Amino acid sequence: MEAFRILITGGAGFIGSAVIRYLVENTSHVVANLDKLTYAGNLDSVAAVSSSDQYRFYQVDVCDCAALDKVFAEFQPDAVMHLAAESHVDRSIDGPADFIETNIVGTYTLLEATRSYWQGLPTERKAAFRFHHISTDEVYGDLHGTDDLFTETTPYAPSSPYSASKASSDHLVRAWQRTYGLPTLVTNCSNNYGPYHFPEKLIPHMILNALAGKPLPVYGDGNQIRDWLYVEDHARALVKVVTEGEVGETYNIGGHNEKRNIEVVRTLCSLLEELAADQKPAGVARYEDLITFVKDRPGHDVRYAIDASKIERELGWKPEETFETGLRKTVAWYLNNREWWQRVLNGDYQLGRLGEKA
């Protein structure tokens, strides 16, 4: 396959950094990481590949049109993978403004910068160009039947400010394809987990709380169901879509791993008993004893589940990890990479952010 020049927004985030590590370690594609470096952006997550000739970094906000124009002119991408987003539901409930700004205004600004650049490309490069927008299954709302699945044609019914902002960005991307002919693709994925996950999210939050002997807070009765996808499986799927997907299409990406939240937490506790019995905090007989049920959050969706048959059928992708193998790898990674998450918890990862490689 001919090497692409791929501009990745949000490449210092959880999923974006996984995509960058995969591209640099497994392909000949050249990658530009464009990230504002908000609290969730962590350049430690791409440290393993940051010295590669295939990697560039630009500290730029997707809402900054002039800065985006400069990056496009300098890097000359063949594709854009748009992952930059505010993504934490609880934070969107407490402060929705940042989600509207980044996820909606930022996507609009990036689309316009991309369109301007794309329209100026020579005919052959223009025809080969791709804009890949990475979204979430939360735009579909929740499922009520036990056998229902989200498909690419499920109507949108977002429940939180976060999912509403992502739904808005999806609509913008499709409108730019329909109105201006911009060659776009959209993917909607289920809950990701794995290495380098920011500690505010469920799985890393539970692992680190357990190791610290802190309560493991579970919303409501813990019976909310999510479909879990190992982040490195997701990275492979995204690269498949941007390089082989059909323009104008949407692809749902799921892990085929439906689990209740309480089941996830109990499985984590079980793995910690096996892998970190000697690291149990003083006074804790079993990690599971730390589980605490707390008041449910407003508008909490009950069940998400993805029908990923289209991407498997049309692009030949399916997840390599089961939930059991992926979760074991995840727990082992957090146990073996304390420096990464300790730098997040104490804030050191935010030091020295200006003047990075560009």
Catalytic one among 86, 138, 258, 301? 138
Q: Which residues, 6+ apart, have CB-to-CB distance to 307 below 8 Å? A: 149, 150, 151, 252, 254
Catalytic one among 55, 162, 251, 334? 162
Per the annotation, the verdict on 227 as an active-site residue is: no
Residue 5 phi, psi (nearest 5) = -105, 115
* Residue indicated by tokens 């036990």: 146
Q: How far is CA 264 from the centre of its chain?
A: 19
Distance, CA of 255 to CA of 307 (rounded, Å): 9
Catalytic one among 137, 233, 258, 301? 137
**Strand bridging mode 30-34 / 258-260:** unpaired
Q: What is the CB-side half-sphere exposure of residue 222 using CA atoms within 13 A?
A: 14
Q: Which residues of 129-159 are buried (b: 16+ CB within 10 A; e: fewer)?
A: bbbbbbbbbbbbbbbeeeeebbebebeeebb
Distance, CA of 193 to CA of 299 (rounded, Å): 22
CB atoms within 10 A of CB 246: 11
Q: Which residues, 6+ apart, have CB-to-CB distance to 26 below 8 Å? A: none
Per the annotation, the verdict on 137 as an active-site residue is: yes
* Residue indicated by tokens 């059909």: 246
H helix runs in 189-302, sequence order:
202-212, 231-244, 261-275
Q: Do 298 and 92 meet the contact criterion of CB atoms below 8 Å apart? A: no
Per the annotation, the verdict on 233 as an active-site residue is: no
Residues acting as catalytic residues = 137-138, 162
